[in-house]
């Protein structure tokens, strides 16, 4: 297929996405376009309650304040009359924000992903002229229609439209997926790292454009998941993109000021996706999906563990970043009610359990939290002892992998005995117990612990912690000491002197990222999260 044909197909895919999406789902891509044009984003509406008709507020390259109201579809006279009140708030009311001078008139823009009819354009012109003639200190209303939006998206995408056949195929597969399943993380990471972040250009501006392009391209590819309201897949995708951006920025040695705006957009989408997942979950009485005849059992338990663990991570984040945040009693009740059905299918379940434990602890449910931690220790000791016939799988096996193996869906039978005798998470659990002064549990079980190898994949390049796959590193394995000094163990559990600065700087992202890529768990990250969260 010729390059011109591929570009044409992708541009038509972008146009189809823009026509069929809503204002909330093109908001992030539009914000990225504004960043690309030199704007500084100072406010983005959550759409829970519109802020005086302003969905986005920026400072442009000339230092002028700009306010945008985003709409879906065509705007004809009927729709214009329905939104006129919001439009008047947009142009008449000053921007309310700590960093904005209220005495300075802002620029106003009505943005639509459809067309604005000539009758509406005439009314807008008349309104602007009337305000100017009467000396009203209102802002002038400009319009941005669907065709202009499409051009700006394609221009901002620039040279990063996938050109080689493999990346083009990956884009189409992601764009045309059903959207009701888990994110195909292998393909998603491959596309980002091969089509957009593959090279470190000599020109800093090109590296910055790569990051801009990644946000816009991701918005297109997530359309199927947006349509299906698959909030968990959206969370996984935005978290994966955030990780790729941080790694690329480190590799390219970019100044944080050059890319942090894009990263903040991505981070806001992570939190938004989790918030929507939480709202959906707490409205329901169970975790069933689709036809109940084909649901239940281990599938149900895995889904409950994933959802509750992920929402616990959100609550832990909000608790840490907002001093006035009040814990959600309904979520706490759901976790306590379902604690007995949580399923540790393998070591990739650990991040979910870790966040549930942390959430229970700050919710003053320490006894339940410590019982859960003790149960994890005992499960690893029992399942992964050298004599075990079926060990808990390594973090490289997802819940889906284990379910397929257990239910006989996977034709290649998984040999669970291969996991016996070693563990990637046992040392992490031991250090967590040491921080909590649970000496008696470890003393009672140390002889059994000492026969199980501690395993860890040690990266050559620290920023590769944010990769889905890498061969740059070594698998490290060692047995714990046959006899262990309690004093030394506690000291090790609380020693963070050698922790990389990168972990400290992006600890919030790492906690979410470990849910997406549990095979990136290590004792330094878990130790930091355990101590600082």
Average pLDDT in the 416-443 region? 97
In this predicted structure, the answer to whether residue 369 has a pLDDT above a threshold of 60 is: yes
Take residue 68 and report the two structure tokens written for it: 């945008």
- Separation between Cα atoms, residue 400 and residue 145, nearest integer Å: 43
- Separation between Cα atoms, residue 383 and residue 365, nearest integer Å: 27
DSSP summary character for residue 51: B
pLDDT of residue 290: 58
Q: What SS3 class is residue 346?
A: strand
Average pLDDT in the 247-266 region? 96
DSSP summary character for residue 94: P
Average pLDDT in the 257-266 region? 96
In this predicted structure, the answer to whether residue 335 has a pLDDT above a threshold of 70 is: yes
- Give the best-scoring range by mean pLDDT among 100-109, 201-210, 237-246: 237-246
Cα angle 254-255-256, degrees, rounded to a multiple of 5: 110
In this predicted structure, the answer to whether residue 408 has a pLDDT above a threshold of 90 is: no
pLDDT of residue 411: 60
pLDDT of residue 49: 45
- Separation between Cα atoms, residue 351 and residue 513, nearest integer Å: 10
Q: Convert the pLDDT of each residue in 447-494 to its tens digit.
A: 999 999 999 999 999 999 999 999 899 999 999 999 999 999 999 999
Average pLDDT in the 362-380 region? 96
In this predicted structure, the answer to whether residue 426 has a pLDDT above a threshold of 70 is: yes
pLDDT of residue 327: 87
- Separation between Cα atoms, residue 167 and residue 174, nearest integer Å: 11
pLDDT of residue 252: 96
404 touches 410 (CB < 8 A): yes
- Separation between Cα atoms, residue 64 and residue 256, nearest integer Å: 23
Cα angle 56-59-63, degrees, rounded to a multiple of 5: 160
Query: Confidence class of residue 214 from pLDDT cuts 50, 70 and 90?
Result: very high
User: Could you give the C-alpha distances from 290 to 296, 300, 405, 514, in angstroms and in order?
Assistant: 11, 12, 22, 28
Helix/strand/coil (H, E, C) string of 142-175? EEECHHHHHHHHHHHHHHHCCCCHHHHHHHHHHH
Cα angle 382-386-388, degrees, rounded to a multiple of 5: 50
- Separation between Cα atoms, residue 122 and residue 80, nearest integer Å: 12
2 versus 532: the higher-pLDDT residue is 532
Q: Convert the pLDDT of each residue in 120-168 to its tens digit.
A: 999 999 999 999 888 888 999 999 999 999 999 988 876 666 767 888 8
- Separation between Cα atoms, residue 302 and residue 178, nearest integer Å: 22
Alpha helix segments (H runs only) across 93-135: 118-133
- Does the global pTM surpass 0.95? no
pLDDT of residue 68: 97
Q: Residue 454: phi, psi to the nearest 5?
A: -85, 125
Residue with tokens 């304040």: 65
């Amino acid at each position: 297929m010729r390059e011109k044909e591929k570009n044409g197909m992708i541009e038509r895919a972008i146009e189809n996405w823009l026509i069929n999406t809503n204002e909330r789902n093109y908001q992030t891509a539009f914000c990225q376009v504004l960043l690309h044009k030199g704007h500084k984003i100072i406010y983005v509406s959550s759409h829970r309650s519109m802020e005086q008709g302003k969905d986005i507020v920026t400072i442009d390259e000339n230092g002028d304040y700009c306010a945008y109201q985003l709409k879906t579809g065509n705007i004809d006279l009927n729709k214009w009359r329905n939104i006129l009140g919001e439009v008047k708030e947009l142009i008449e009311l000053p921007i309310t924000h700590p960093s904005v001078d209220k005495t300075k008139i802002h620029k106003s823009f009505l943005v639509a992903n459809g067309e604005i009819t000539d009758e509406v354009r005439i009314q807008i012109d008349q309104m602007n002229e009337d305000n100017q003639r009467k000396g009203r200190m209102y802002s002038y209303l400009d319009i941005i229609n669907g065709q202009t939006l499409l051009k700006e998206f394609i221009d901002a995408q620039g040279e990063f439209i996938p050109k080689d056949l493999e990346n083009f195929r990956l884009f189409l597969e992601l764009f045309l997926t059903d959207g009701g399943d888990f994110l195909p993380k292998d393909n998603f990471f491959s596309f980002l790292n091969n089509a957009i972040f593959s090279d470190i250009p000599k020109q800093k501006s090109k590296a910055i454009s790569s990051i801009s392009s990644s946000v816009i391209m991701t918005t297109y590819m997530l359309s199927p998941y947006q349509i299906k309201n698959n909030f968990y897949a959206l969370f996984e995708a935005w978290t994966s993109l955030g990780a790729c951006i941080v790694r690329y920025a480190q590799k390219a040695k970019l100044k944080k000021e050059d890319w942090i705006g894009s990263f903040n957009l991505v981070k806001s989408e992570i939190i938004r996706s989790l918030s929507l997942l939480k709202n959906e979950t707490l409205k329901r009485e169970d975790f069933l999906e689709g036809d109940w005849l084909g649901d239940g059992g281990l599938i149900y338990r895995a889904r409950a563990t994933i959802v509750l663990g992920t929402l616990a991570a959100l609550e832990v984040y909000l608790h840490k970043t907002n001093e006035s945040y009040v814990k959600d009693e309904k979520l706490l009740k759901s976790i306590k009610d379902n604690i007995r059905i949580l399923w540790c299918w393998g070591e990739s379940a650990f991040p979910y359990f870790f966040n549930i434990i942390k959430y229970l602890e700050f919710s003053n449910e320490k006894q339940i939290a410590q019982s859960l931690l003790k149960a994890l220790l005992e499960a690893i000791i029992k399942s992964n002892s050298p004599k075990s016939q079926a060990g808990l799988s390594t973090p490289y096996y997802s819940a889906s992998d284990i379910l397929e193996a257990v239910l006989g869906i996977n034709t290649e039978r998984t040999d669970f005995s291969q996991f016996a005798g070693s563990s990637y998470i046992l040392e992490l659990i031991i250090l967590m117990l040491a921080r909590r002064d649970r000496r008696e549990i470890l003393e009672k079980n140390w002889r059994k612990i000492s026969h199980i190898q501690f395993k860890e994949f040690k990266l050559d390049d620290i920023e590769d912690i944010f990769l889905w796959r890498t061969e740059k590193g070594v698998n490290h394995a060692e047995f714990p000491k046959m006899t262990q000094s309690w004093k030394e163990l506690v000291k090790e559990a609380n020693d963070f002197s050698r922790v990389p600065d990168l972990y400290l700087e992006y600890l919030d992202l790492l906690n979410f990222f470990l849910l997406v890529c549990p095979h990136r768990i290590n004792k330094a990250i878990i130790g930091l999260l355990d101590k600082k969260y």
